[in-house]
Structure 1
Amino acid sequence: MLKFRCLFFFSVIFSLLTSCSDDDIIDDGDKDSTELSAEWYTGGQLGTTFNISSSAYEQPSHAIENSGLEAAFKSGEGFFEGIFVTTDPNESPMGGLGPLWLRTSCIACHPGYGHGKRQTEYDSNVTGNGYLLVITDNTDTYLSSLTGMPQTQAIEPFSPPVDESLITISWLSYNDEWGNAFPDGETYDLIYPEVTIPEEAFYVPLEVTKDNVTYTVAHSDIRVRLESTIGIYGSGLLDAIPDDSLKAQYVKESAHAKLNPAFFADGEWVKQYKNTRQGDGEQHPYRFTYGLTRGPLQDGPGANAIWNIFNLTRNNRRYHYMTKTYAVKASQDPNVQAKFYSYFPEYYVTGDVKTDIYNYLMSDSLPVELADDDYSDFMVWHRGLAVPAARDLDDEEVQLGKQLFTEIGCSSCHRPSWTTGDDNVYDPNLFYSRGDTRLPRYPNQTIWPYSDLVQHRLYMENNIRTGWCRTTPLWGRGLSQICTGAADRLHDCRARNVIEAIMWHGNPKSDARWAIENFRELSSEERDAVVAFINAI
Structure 2
Amino acid sequence: MWRYKRPPTARRLWGLAGLSLIGLAASAPGLTGADDDPHLAPVPPGAAQAVRAARALRPVRDFSAPEPFEAQPAGAATVQRGDRQAFAQPAANLDFETELDFRTGKALFEKLWVSAPSSTLASDGLGPLYNARACESCHIRDGRGHPPAPGEMPAGLVLHLSQPGPAAGPMAAIPGSHPAAPDPVYGRQLQTRALRGLAPEYRLSIADDAIEIPLSGGESVTLHAPRYALNDLAHGPLDPATRISARTAPQMIGLGLIEAIPAAAILAGADPEDADGDGISGRANITWSMDHQRPMLGRFGHKAAQPTLRDQSARAFADDLGLSTPLVPDGWGDCTAAQAACRAAPHGDGDARVFEVDDTGLDLVTHYVRDLSVPARRAPDDPQVLQGKQVFYDTGCAACHRPKFVTRVLPGQPAQSFQLIWPYSDMLLHDMGPGLADGRPEGRATGREWRTAPLWGIGLTETVSGRASYLHDGRARSLLEAILWHGGEAQPHSDRVIVLPPADRAALIRFLESL
How far does residue 379 in structure 1 lie from its aligned partner after superposition? Answer: 1.7
Distance in 1 of aligned mates of 2:359 and 2:162: 35
Tell me, yes or no, if the aligned pair for 2:321 and 2:333 is still in contact at 8 Å: no
Distance in 1 of aligned mates of 2:333 and 2:237: 14
Q: Does 1:203 align with 2:213?
A: no
TM-aligned CA distance change 1:373 to 1:463, over 3 Å: same
CA RMSD of aligned residues (A): 3.1
2:364 maps to 377
- Among 280, 283, 287, the alignment partner of 2:295 is 283
- How does the TM-score come out when normalised to structure 2? 0.75
TM-aligned CA distance change 1:485 to 1:361, over 3 Å: closer
The aligned amino acid for 1:203 is H
Query: What SS class does the counterpart of residue 400 from structure 1 fall into?
Result: helix
Tell me, yes or no, if the aligned pair for 1:82 and 1:105 is still in contact at 8 Å: yes
1:482 maps to 463
Q: Does 1:101 align with 2:130?
A: yes
Query: What SS class does the counterpart of residue 270 from structure 2 fall into?
Result: helix
1:273 maps to 287
Q: Does 1:295 align with 2:307?
A: yes
How far does residue 41 in structure 1 lie from its aligned partner after superposition? Answer: 0.9
Q: Does 1:157 align with 2:197?
A: yes
2:432 maps to 458
The aligned amino acid for 1:490 is L
Distance in 2 of aligned mates of 1:173 and 1:421: 45
Q: Which runs of 5+ in 1 are unaligned?
A: 1-34, 208-216, 265-270, 345-359, 424-434
Matches within 5 A, 1:433-444: 435=411, 437=412, 441-444=415-418
Matches within 5 A, 1:17-416: 37-45=68-76, 47-63=77-93, 65-66=94-95, 68-88=97-117, 91-121=120-150, 123-124=152-153, 129-135=155-161, 143-160=183-200, 162-164=201-203, 167-175=204-212, 180-198=213-231, 201-203=233-235, 206-207=238-239, 217=240, 224-251=244-271, 254-255=274-275, 256=277, 257=279, 259=281, 272-275=286-289, 279=292, 281-300=293-312, 302-320=313-331, 322=333, 326-330=336-340, 344=346, 367-416=354-403
TM-aligned CA distance change 1:480 to 1:328, over 3 Å: closer
- How does the TM-score come out when normalised to structure 1? 0.72
Tell me, yes or no, if the aligned pair for 2:128 and 2:333 is still in contact at 8 Å: no
Tell me, yes or no, if the aligned pair for 1:135 and 1:143 is still in contact at 8 Å: yes
Distance in 1 of aligned mates of 2:220 and 2:234: 41
TM-aligned CA distance change 1:451 to 1:282, over 3 Å: same
TM-aligned CA distance change 1:98 to 1:40, over 3 Å: same
Distance in 2 of aligned mates of 1:321 and 1:376: 21
Between 288-297 and 396-405, report the one with greater CA deviation: 288-297
How far does residue 90 in structure 1 lie from its aligned partner after superposition? Answer: 6.2
Tell me, yes or no, if the aligned pair for 1:97 and 1:310 is still in contact at 8 Å: yes
2:22 maps to none
How far does residue 366 in structure 1 lie from its aligned partner after superposition? Answer: 9.3
- After superposition, what is the alpha-carbon deviation per residue over 1:47-90, rounded to whole angstroms, capped at 9, x for unaligned? 21111111100110034x22622222111111222211114476
1:530 maps to 508
Tell me, yes or no, if the aligned pair for 1:408 and 1:515 is still in contact at 8 Å: yes
Tell me, yes or no, if the aligned pair for 2:323 and 2:333 is still in contact at 8 Å: no
The aligned amino acid for 1:149 is Q
Tell me, yes or no, if the aligned pair for 1:147 and 1:321 is still in contact at 8 Å: no
Identity %: 26
Distance in 2 of aligned mates of 1:524 and 1:258: 26
Between 523-532 and 100-109, report the one with greater CA deviation: 100-109
Q: Which runs of 5+ in 2 are unaligned?
A: 1-65, 166-177, 441-446
Distance in 1 of aligned mates of 2:256 and 2:164: 36
Distance in 1 of aligned mates of 2:110 and 2:123: 11
The aligned amino acid for 1:130 is G
The aligned amino acid for 1:231 is Q
The aligned amino acid for 2:498 is R
Between 400-409 and 283-292, report the one with greater CA deviation: 283-292
- After superposition, what is the alpha-carbon deviation per residue over 1:294-322, rounded to whole angstroms, capped at 9, x for unaligned? 1122222x342134322222345431365
The aligned amino acid for 1:74 is R
How far does residue 463 in structure 1 lie from its aligned partner after superposition? Answer: 2.8
How far does residue 440 in structure 1 lie from its aligned partner after superposition? Answer: 6.5
How far does residue 480 in structure 1 lie from its aligned partner after superposition? Answer: 1.1
**If you compute each CA radius of gyration, which structure gives the higher value, 1 or 2?**
1
How far does residue 368 in structure 1 lie from its aligned partner after superposition? Answer: 2.2
The aligned amino acid for 1:70 is E
Tell me, yes or no, if the aligned pair for 1:89 and 1:369 is still in contact at 8 Å: no
The aligned amino acid for 2:298 is Y
TM-aligned CA distance change 1:462 to 1:235, over 3 Å: closer
The aligned amino acid for 1:234 is G
- After superposition, what is the alpha-carbon deviation per residue over 1:387-409, rounded to whole angstroms, capped at 9, x for unaligned? 01111111000010011110111
Query: What SS class does the counterpart of residue 511 from structure 1 fall into?
Result: helix
Tell me, yes or no, if the aligned pair for 1:452 and 1:471 is still in contact at 8 Å: yes
The aligned amino acid for 1:470 is R
1:4 maps to none
Q: How many residues align?
A: 426
2:61 maps to none
Distance in 2 of aligned mates of 1:184 and 1:520: 10
1:214 maps to none
Query: What SS class does the counterpart of residue 84 from structure 1 fall into?
Result: coil
